[in-house]
Amino acid sequence: MKTTQISEHIWSLRTWMIIPITVWVVVEEDGVTLVDTGMSTMAKGILKFINRLNAGPLKQIVLTHGHPDHVGALKSILHHHPVTVFAHNKEIPYLLGECSYREGKKPVATLIHGGVKTFAHDNDGELHAIGSLKPYFTPGHSPGHVIFYHEQDKVMLAGDLFSSKHGKLRKPLFTPNMKEVLNSSLVVGKLRPKQLEVCHGHSVFNPADQLSDYISEESKKLRTAVVSADGSDKPSSL
């Protein structure tokens, strides 16, 4: 597992299983927050790293979403450190094994009832920060996907809202609702992070500068796909 300090308070921990798989450790005043947990094989390495970092105990785990490559090490980490896990409420039925991400696939329970909390929110739906990380609801890749923004470091931990290649934003892998993903990606223009990190790819610096090119390119592909799927030449709006 490769560990890299990506900003003053954030470390990325990465392994490779055909594609890179990344989790993040965020240093808080009273301990550390783990963002996603990666594959089950990463559990030992993550705990060892937190120990070695010597920045205090693991305080909580926050999840961008519940796909298996983001929650694989969760059970094992909780076995050693029974901390609170936070996820968006739309993601919780999947984490509890009440429904499955893919039609026809058997649901898998990663957590038990009471083992996961939802993010608190205002009346207008704005999610409250957990430590120094503010979640933003960014559905499309999964129903309750969120990104986390570290205001002080100006870093966005974008989970699977994007992938990236050679410093460029790319669409996420296996995404049921690309139209919704493109709509969610507008959060990058709103927050204008200095640095954006994805689970399956490398850092993207000043991502807001390339956002409109990314959206127009992917919208074009989406329209072409819709046109060829329904046989009409009528472009669908984004």
Q: Does 134 bind Zn ion (CB under 5 A)?
A: no
Q: Three-state SS for 108?
A: coil
Q: Least CB distance from residue 67 to Zn ion, whole Å?
A: 3
Residue nearest to Zn ion according to CB distances in the complex: 67
Which 8-state DSSP code applies to residue 112?
-
Q: Three-state SS for 155?
A: strand
Q: Least CB distance from residue 231 to Zn ion, whole Å?
A: 31
Q: Least CB distance from residue 177 to Zn ion, whole Å?
A: 12
d(C-alpha 160, C-alpha 198), whole Å: 6
Point out which span in 4-12, 159-167, 207-215, 220-228 binds Zn ion (CB under 5 A): 159-167
Q: Least CB distance from residue 55 to Zn ion, whole Å?
A: 26
Kindly determine how many residues on this chain lie close enough to bind Zn ion according to the rule CB under 5 A.
4
Contact set for Zn ion, span 172-191 (CB under 5 A): none
Instruction: List, in sequence order, the alpha helices (H) in 11-73.
Output: 43-53, 68-71
122, 111 contact by CB (below 8 A): no
Q: Does 67 bind Zn ion (CB under 5 A)?
A: yes
Q: Least CB distance from residue 75 to Zn ion, whole Å?
A: 18
Rule CB under 5 A: choose which of 36, 91, 160, 197 binds Zn ion: 160
At 58, give phi and psi (nearest 5°).
Answer: -70, 120
String of contacts with Zn ion for each residue 24-53, x by CB under 5 A: ------------------------------
Point out which span in 65-73, 82-90, 92-100, 212-220 binds Zn ion (CB under 5 A): 65-73
Pairing label, strands 31-35, 19-28: antiparallel
Point out which span in 7-15, 187-195, 196-204, 225-233 binds Zn ion (CB under 5 A): 196-204
Distance, first Cα to last Cα, the chain: 39
Residues making up the chain, counted from first to last: 238
Q: Does 69 bind Zn ion (CB under 5 A)?
A: yes
- Residue 182, CA distances (Å) to 9, 127, 200, 212 in order: 29, 20, 18, 10
Q: Does 91 bind Zn ion (CB under 5 A)?
A: no
For Zn ion, the closer CB: 17 or 120: 17
In this structure, the number of other CB atoms found within 10 A of the CB of residue 199 comes to: 29
For Zn ion, the closer CB: 13 or 199: 199
For Zn ion, the closer CB: 69 or 197: 69
- Residue 186, CA distances (Å) to 51, 109, 139, 182 in order: 37, 32, 12, 7
Interface contacts to Zn ion, rule CB under 5 A: 67, 69, 160, 199
